[in-house]
Amino acid sequence: MSVRFAEKVITFLFDLLAVNVAFFTAYWIRFSSGLFVNESGGIPAAAFTYLEPSLMLSVVWIVMFFLTGLYRDWNKESRLDEFFVVARTVCTGIFLFFLVTSAPQIMEFTQTGDIRKFLTPTKFATILTYGGCMLFFASANRFAMHTLTGILFSKGIAVSKVLVVGANRSGEKLVRDINSFPKLGYRVAGFIDDDGSRKGSVCGGLPIFGTYSDIPSVAQREKIGGLIIGHVSGSANEISRVLNYCGELHINIYMVPSLMDVISGHQKTHQLFGVPLMVLLQDHMPGWEAQVKRIIDIAVSFLVLLLGAPVWLAVGGLIRLTSAGPAIYKQERVGRNGKNYTMYKFRSMYSDAESRSGPQWASENDPRITPIGRFIRKTRLDEIPQFINVLKGEMSLVGPRPERPFFVEQLKQEIPWYVRRIKMKPGITGWAQVKHKYDSSIEDVKQKVLYDLYYFENMSLSLDLKILVRTILVVLTGKGAH
């Protein structure tokens, strides 16, 4: 188990402790501190009788922390940024807590108009006390983890290795800046430089591992977690060359921006190592939305496969009856970060369709497509088995269509910034699918990449919902590809 994963587990466990300590601290302040007047005049219930509601609230708080991204990697962001997210989450939770606990009084107020029925000073003070305790203990937990990880990073424990692209003065300055902030948890392993003659030499006391083409092998050998393009470059082609070698690497990629990059604001900028760094190929969907998206993926896929099982069995039977071969077609596709996986579809072509022609895109009136295959392709029913891939986490309901490795290698050479497309988890449907027809040529794919890049830059739950609604309309109206 890595130290970073252990940090998240410990944070989770201490969150469970923190929310319960906050609850019983609020109980003590309310009933035992003498700060509140006992309006009822009775004896308050013993603390242990509140154990069950405290545990139930713990589950609610942990889910909220999860959805708001509080369990993502915060080591490269400031404590103040994390505190603001904690504060926002706690304020939202306390507001919901107030609405739930005040539901009867609110109903009574709507009937009588007597606001005193539920806006009592003691009740407000109690809820605010609970909120203050939650904010204090949840924040203290994270500040403590920040301090602990900072100490470990300062001692060189669990640090993330990074490569600097550009063995020059800018690169050397960046290395000095990184070394000035050891608590951020980064250590420069060496340089990458486009000048092949410098491979194996030293710059600023660090080795030059090789050129851009050496990035994948160096990243694997040195266990690299990040890549920083250290020199300000006005050449989009040069940056594209670097990124093309990073498409299949699960690493963070940063670049020192030019003044125009900062002004245009097209890329998100982090303040790291004392300098602003642009984050390249970053997911634009907020953390909590990404978690909700995954929950929706699982729920919808399970329901579609379970409730429609008789229909899917009938479709499989028709495929077997009308043409020789299996009902389910398996094919290797390229998933997120270039990782290959086996994708499932209802077979819409004759089983020996590519035995002679080799890999190629389907075309309109393609003779390889079976009669039943033409119908299930038009209605998108051939995609149904891919819900299995969604349950396995290899795909999502919404995302760019996955391509075969044969075509990906070709497309990476033909289309600039294609690497952004394989940084996303592929989907059953997507913006490109509802806006364009089935791929029948590389020109179609180029057009679809533009739609995929639009989705990459605008990922959100609302856009996903829009795409899903359009997909349903395609299925119901039969206005799919021929």
439, 465: one domain: yes
Tokens linked to 187? 């250590």
pLDDT (0 to 100) of residue 262: 47
333, 234: one domain: no
pLDDT (0 to 100) of residue 324: 83
Among 280, 315, 337, the domain boundary falls at: 280
Tokens linked to 262? 């900062």
375, 449: one domain: yes
Tokens linked to 329? 């077609």
267, 380: one domain: no
324, 420: one domain: yes
CB 301 within 8 A of CB 387: yes
382, 364: one domain: yes
Instruction: Report how many domains make up the chain.
Output: 3
Instruction: Considering only CA atoms, give the Rg of the chain.
Output: 28
The pTM (predicted TM-score) of the whole model is 0.64
pLDDT (0 to 100) of residue 190: 92
275, 302: one domain: no
CA 400 to CA 431: how far, in whole Å?
8
Tokens linked to 467? 């795409």
Burial class from Cβ neighbours inside 10 Å (0-12, 13-18, 19+) for residue 229 reads buried
pLDDT (0 to 100) of residue 412: 76
Per-residue buried b or exposed e for 48-69, using 16+ beta carbons within 10 Å of the residue's own CB: eebeeebeebbeebbebbbbbb
Phi, psi of 409, rounded to the nearest 5 degrees: -60, -35
134, 223: one domain: no
Among 280, 315, 345, the domain boundary falls at: 280
- DSSP strand pairing (160-165 vs 427-429): unpaired
CB 422 within 8 A of CB 446: no
Tokens linked to 444? 């179609």
Residue of 7, 1, 158 whose CA lies nearest to 73: 7
Q: Show pLDDT as tens, one digit a residue, over the chain (482 residues).
A: 456 677 788 888 999 999 999 988 988 887 777 666 555 555 556 666 778 888 888 999 998 888 887 887 776 667 788 889 899 999 999 988 888 777 665 555 555 555 555 556 677 778 888 999 999 999 998 888 888 888 888 888 878 889 998 888 888 888 888 888 887 788 899 999 888 888 888 888 899 998 988 998 999 899 898 888 876 555 666 777 787 777 677 788 888 765 445 444 455 556 555 566 777 766 667 767 888 899 999 999 999 999 999 999 999 999 888 888 888 989 899 998 888 999 999 988 877 666 555 555 565 566 778 888 888 888 888 889 999 999 999 999 999 888 888 888 777 777 766 777 887 899 999 888 887 665 556 666 677 777 887 888 788 888 899 999 888 887 776 555 43
For tokens 């800018």, name the residue. Answer: 170
Phi, psi of 15, rounded to the nearest 5 degrees: -65, -45
Residue 247 CB neighbour total at 10 angstroms: 19
Q: Please indicate, yes or no, if residue 482 is contained in any of the structural domains.
A: no
pLDDT (0 to 100) of residue 236: 64
User: Helix H segments across 226-286?
Assistant: 236-244, 259-264
120, 183: one domain: no
Phi, psi of 436, rounded to the nearest 5 degrees: -140, 165
Q: Domain of 270: which CATH number?
A: 3.40.50.720
pLDDT (0 to 100) of residue 150: 81
Q: Which residues form the domain of 389?
A: 287-477
User: Helix H segments across 103-214?
Assistant: 103-112, 121-154, 169-179
Is residue 352 helix, strand or coil?
A: coil
pLDDT (0 to 100) of residue 121: 66
CB 190 within 8 A of CB 206: yes
Tokens linked to 276? 């602003």
Question: What is the DSSP code (8-state) at residue 369?
Answer: B
Tokens linked to 208? 């030059």
In this structure, the chain runs to a length of 482
**Residue 163, beta-bridge partner list:** 190, 227
Q: Please indicate, yes or no, if residue 107 is contained in any of the structural domains.
A: yes
247, 109: one domain: no
181, 245: one domain: yes
Is residue 135 helix, strand or coil?
A: helix
Which helix (H) or strand (E) segment holds residue 318: the answer is helix 309-322
Residue of 342, 366, 344 whose CA lies nearest to 354: 366
Among 232, 247, 280, the domain boundary falls at: 280
388, 430: one domain: yes
